[in-house]
Structure 1
């Protein structure tokens, strides 16, 4: 019965996380599509939820980090929104693929053009970014969210490591370890002398299969005990019934 109690407890805990963590994510955030590796390129989504019950979001402005200028910032078209990339001169030119880049994107602005983010809804705005810095673990993007009632919410507070989350936190993009291809496509290949051949998926499958077998075995034992008890009860009932008929 401990198996079932543990499963029930896990379900309750997971539900609690979903219920109580909803409010913590009700702000503009940024997440990579796949992996954002240091020194590579990545596609990210800026997720914009509507926090108001009586207004709709009609504009989003995202500032690019000045301490880590990006040579390539390309937005993906979003139906019902027009996008503008603002560029600025760099104090120090960037060297990209043998060419010097003297200006880089400083801000990206999405403005409603036949669409909007209504109450109870959210919208994602994709960007292709690169090259990502090699000497940083994260990038902070300050954002302004404008509603159709002229209210502007400034998501510009930088989170402090080990501190409480700010009231209006800026979107933070976490960077993973650098990859060989500099495109953030995946992890490095396994070394030639690695006897496992890099087949981590097979090991995970074996582990999962073993865990499944243990769980199935526990369930079978419980059912077996129940069957024995039911069978013994049936035999006892038959014996009693026979005695009654004999008397």
Structure 2
């Protein structure tokens, strides 16, 4: 009769909940510690296990135990995990935590359906997902609220074009006109020197001829 009474009590509208929180509640975050608080509601038995169904985007291989009551261990299930061990004292809440390798990046809500088993075999099923705009269900599943994933840059900044780069030579600084002027000036000086040499040679030749006639 005591077991039946406990089962009936646990099937009644919820007076306690399983709550969930995270140290970095952001979509796409890595190595996040997710902590659960299972409130003890039975006046006769203590909690002995917590079975959690993982939300889409998180597999049992992605989690490891971070914290649990003394003697409790984590075991993987096809759709989640179970933490279990010696039954807690009557009225003692169950607190446990897992580390998730990476949270899904395409959602801002993660429901963790939880089945809470007591030492007398009674099970509290926190599996109903709350709906926006609707009253809270009798047995709500804990839902972790996330902030949106961090924005990812679409592409690297384009490299400056050759036309926009800083000049690296006098010709680049002053442009092609200045370079042409410099080349023209050098050519003019070379021509003048050549003419001067030619005139000097002619004058020397004339002087030599005059001396030879005397």
Considering only CA atoms, is the larger Rg found in Structure 1 or Structure 2? 2
The change in CA–CA distance for 1:25 and 1:135 in structure 2 (over 3 A counts) is farther
Report if the CA contact (8 A) 1:50-1:117 is conserved.
no
Give the match for residue 68 of structure 1.
57
User: 1:192-211 residue pairs with structure 2 within 5 A?
Assistant: none
With normalisation by structure 2, the TM-score equals: 0.58
Report if the CA contact (8 A) 1:141-1:170 is conserved.
yes
The question of 1:139 aligning with 2:107 is answered no
Matches of 2:40 and 2:77, distance apart in 1: 28
Matches of 1:164 and 1:128, distance apart in 2: 31
Q: 1:26 aligns with which of 16, 35, 43?
A: 16
User: 1:28-67 residue pairs with structure 2 within 5 A?
Assistant: 28-33=18-23, 35-41=24-30, 42-65=32-55, 67=56
| Large movers: runs of 4+ above 4 Å | none
Matches of 2:149 and 2:15, distance apart in 1: 28
The change in CA–CA distance for 1:131 and 1:29 in structure 2 (over 3 A counts) is same
The change in CA–CA distance for 1:137 and 1:167 in structure 2 (over 3 A counts) is same
- TM-superposed CA distance for 1:87, in Å, is 5.3
The change in CA–CA distance for 1:81 and 1:63 in structure 2 (over 3 A counts) is farther
Task: Give unmatched runs, 5+ long, in structure 2.
Answer: 1-12, 153-214
- TM-superposed CA distance for 1:31, in Å, is 0.8
Matches of 1:151 and 1:145, distance apart in 2: 8
Task: Give unmatched runs, 5+ long, in structure 1.
Answer: 1-22, 89-105, 182-247
Give the match for residue 118 of structure 1.
90
- TM-superposed CA distance for 1:25, in Å, is 7.7
The change in CA–CA distance for 1:164 and 1:176 in structure 2 (over 3 A counts) is same
With normalisation by structure 1, the TM-score equals: 0.51
